[in-house]
Structure 1
């Protein structure tokens, strides 16, 4: 049933800044590398590391602030926020800082505009591997109440962007022609790249504390999105007495010893959002898309056109649909992309990826209901796809006539998530997982037919245990149909983090919540960050705002309970019905759209 509109429109989500590139990266995709000194159960009772003492002479450095020149921040905004950037030098290895080897970390800062300054608020957009320099001005502009009282600090984590970058030198053989062989080569090349072993969440947490030291702050307040919640939790578990107020938005499975649980849930959350929210949205707008008012019938048309298995669908889903699912404000683009797959499936035969990209971009930009923001998203997706296609062409050129060749790749996303904790390394386990996806999450299953890189990456690292005496009370925010950090994982994490409070947004599918521009969601965040007041109840349930072009909120997925949580299903009844339909189609309607 529809819920009455709040009359408010959401702004673009901060975590969705990364959605296009990272969503595509996810789809394409022993002995410890270094001793995890702070990552054992004994660490909970050990003294907190003293980064000022560990850094030695580096502690005497003073940041030199200069213009940032960020392409997505105007000169007017830069002046208003007094935005500036600096580069700080940190030990390459916080477990052996005495070796004298260093790397650089680039930071950004907006200056508190009011007199009642409360300190610094360090922000991170997630990833892993997301550049965070632009997030500081984003937060300051979208939440001016915070910018009035905090210096907002963004940063490019080590290995990323304007900080010392990590590029893995990988050697490929001309026989590395399958995704699995390429993945194995990538892992081998990265593990043999010297800097790799120092690009971990643990090392970045030490960098964060050292930034606190250099800024002269007693405590570090924090706002982290997505993987940034894992990073913030690691920091709080290591530097509990130096952690101030902490907001974890779109929460990874931080109570787990590894990031595997977060990524294991993603195929199901993506199928769920597609079937439970996007297709019903499309069905409610038959006037725009002309595919009727039955979501299941639209799914059948999409699957008959090849779905995510063959034809335009795999390309469109990877570069235009999945990224749009990260932010419901992009649903008009996602719906138009689904419609394009249905409309043009008979014409795709023989097209190159470049031709598909050119045709798809033209069709999407001309689709009904597309706004200026939608057009900007489409163009970003096009640019990212072009860059990926160029990289493939460059690599193919190197491979021509060569028995083996080397190529430098940006693999930070995999490096961090694999080195933070041991993933299951059984090929049999991943084969069984693939079969489960084929049954329960067939939309995304075609992209995940091989073991992930982390299955080939041994490590003994793991997040420090939580000491209830020192771990700070945190505020968590979570949307029900988040496609990247599952609601189920966040709810489990809320029960493992000591003293955590959680705000759930029912019927919302975006990745990244704050600022949401409703009093139910935002007021508790301001009360906590500005006054230190957490909600009186452990769980608070809030209602979503309407999707683009709508004035009511429609019930999808599960429902809010009286306890302030959402009762939902990872594999819903509608998903099961769609999966049964697809199975019947593949069995009874063979043809050029389906593999033999």
Structure 2
């Protein structure tokens, strides 16, 4: 995949969240040193004694991802887990996983499960990317990709949504009401799955991870999580601290805020990333003609926004209104390298010309992204993501709460506030969470890495996770405005960060104290 498009995919995975408790495990979870309830054959222990039937990953001739996994030597399996861990003798579901064996089996030290983020992102294909990006790690570990429950190949949950994004609340009460009506309609379409929705939580995915650990025969599991994957990793540490080996959290989310409203506080960080890009574009005014100073470039962006507030912009055969434009501008978070900045500048140039009433031809990126925002959620990606967030934390069901919040921040967050602070389908969700949010707080050793200017996993959120995980060490990439920092998986790589992570995963050496990379 093209580098900028890869970064855009990561940025949109975080954005999809806009579009739309106790530290002890729940009763019945079998753990080292504790007992489950019921007999050994009927309790939760029976899931841990499964024997996986490994097979080829490709499902038919059209399954390109499965074919790539097969070609790389991976094997796939399906593991049975309880729908509700409090009722292990009840309904079960399937969780799919892929295993890429360590390339140096004589030096193998265990299994490393990788979650690339989301939520709602199938993880199985990404072990190939990780293996290519970090060959030394792939030599020492079996790389495990587990599609989280209801995602990808793991008992998919698809609500049949006609669009993939709720989008921005727009400039006024009428535009806000349109998004509220859309969010309510999307939520109602998930009611058919109301028996599964309460159990889509990250807590249950973490429990599934531990079943996978046991089925693989691993006494402890190493883990790499990016973005949402950091929250999943933190929940796993909280529920199964004795089962964690070497854990790396890349670009951590605030564990106290994670849920449907996580992006509510992201507006200022995205605005800072936009300012950084504006300074870059101002130095290239001769090429992009967006302004010769950062202030002039930002004024150009604001003019585009005001024009979209008045009437939809015509971009080729597409229409870009106030609901859609902030989602396009969010793509400034795709990366802080020259290639990403240049692609975003080309998009803004087209949008600026369209705002002036000129006939324009969309860039290839705009031609792909704009229709995608209004396209049906065909594979159920966004509805599954929303189900996970709704199951993790309850939110206000009063639309007025969101409208008042948007109004209160129109002056200081004019571009992104109506997007990040807008309501989601969770405000109209058919069912509430089955459990309270997980309270993160433990001293398990963890390595955390992240960029100080991360527009998606804000640095204040990273610090909140660091403080909750008192055994963690934080390595901060200063001067960077990118989301995820390890191994160039979703943004350009940094040698300093890579050395710290590889040293920990390969040799078990945590930094003696928090430190920085430049």
User: Alpha-carbon deviations, 1:202-259, whole Å to 9, x = none?
Assistant: 11111111111111111111000111111111111001100111111111102x1643
Measure, in 1, the Cα distance between the counterparts of 2:381 and 2:503.
44
Structure 1 pair 324–63 and aligned structure 2 pair: CA distance change class (3 A): farther
Pairs within 5 Å for 1:26-425: 26-29=17-20, 39-41=21-23, 43=25, 49=31, 54-56=44-46, 59-68=49-58, 71=64, 79=71, 81-99=72-90, 101-114=91-104, 115-168=106-159, 178-191=178-191, 193=193, 194-254=195-255, 256=256, 258-259=258-259, 262-275=262-275, 277-307=276-306, 309=309, 310-312=311-313, 314=322, 317=325, 320-329=328-337, 330-347=340-357, 359-360=361-362, 364-365=363-364, 378=365, 382-383=367-368, 385-391=370-376, 410-425=382-397
Which of residues 493, 501, 506 is equivalent to 1:525? 501
Match of 2:167 in 1: none
Match of 1:511 in 2: 483
Aligned residue for 1:512, secondary structure, equals: coil
Structure 1 pair 422–178 and aligned structure 2 pair: CA distance change class (3 A): same
Measure, in 2, the Cα distance between the counterparts of 1:239 and 1:283.
50
Measure, in 2, the Cα distance between the counterparts of 1:390 and 1:139.
30
Aligned residue for 2:112, secondary structure, equals: strand
Give how far 1:320 is off.
4.6
Match of 2:169 in 1: none
Give how far 1:290 is off.
2.6
| More divergent stretch after superposition (319-328 vs 281-290) | 319-328
Q: Is the 8 A contact 1:83 1:109 kept in 2?
A: yes
Match of 2:433 in 1: 459
Structure 1 pair 341–170 and aligned structure 2 pair: CA distance change class (3 A): closer
Q: Is the 8 A contact 2:250 2:448 kept in 1?
A: yes
Match of 2:317 in 1: none
Segments of 4+ moved more than 6 angstroms: 10-15, 44-47, 169-172
Give how far 1:304 is off.
2.1
Structure 1 pair 522–432 and aligned structure 2 pair: CA distance change class (3 A): same
Give how far 1:466 is off.
4.7
Structure 1 pair 345–151 and aligned structure 2 pair: CA distance change class (3 A): same
Q: Is the 8 A contact 2:150 2:156 kept in 1?
A: yes
User: Alpha-carbon deviations, 1:145-203, whole Å to 9, x = none?
Assistant: 1001001111211111122111237899xxx9822123223334435522212211111
Structure 1 pair 242–320 and aligned structure 2 pair: CA distance change class (3 A): same
Match of 2:316 in 1: none
Match of 1:557 in 2: none
Structure 1 pair 171–146 and aligned structure 2 pair: CA distance change class (3 A): closer
Greater C-alpha radius of gyration: 1
User: Alpha-carbon deviations, 1:69-128, whole Å to 9, x = none?
Assistant: 7636885x854x4223222222222221202x2212121221111121010110111111
Structure 1 pair 40–445 and aligned structure 2 pair: CA distance change class (3 A): closer
Q: Is the 8 A contact 1:13 1:327 kept in 2?
A: no
Aligned residue for 1:438, secondary structure, equals: coil
Structure 1 pair 195–385 and aligned structure 2 pair: CA distance change class (3 A): farther
Measure, in 1, the Cα distance between the counterparts of 2:341 and 2:506.
34
Aligned residue for 1:123, secondary structure, equals: strand
Measure, in 2, the Cα distance between the counterparts of 1:17 and 1:116.
35
Q: Which runs of 5+ in 2 are unaligned?
A: 164-175, 314-319
Give how far 1:57 is off.
6.0
TM-score, normalization: structure 2? 0.81
Number of corresponding residues: 475
Q: Which runs of 5+ in 1 are unaligned?
A: 1-9, 30-38, 350-355, 366-377, 395-407, 544-596
Q: Is the 8 A contact 1:14 1:135 kept in 2?
A: no
Q: Is the 8 A contact 1:44 1:465 kept in 2?
A: no
Match of 1:487 in 2: 459
Measure, in 2, the Cα distance between the counterparts of 1:280 and 1:177.
36
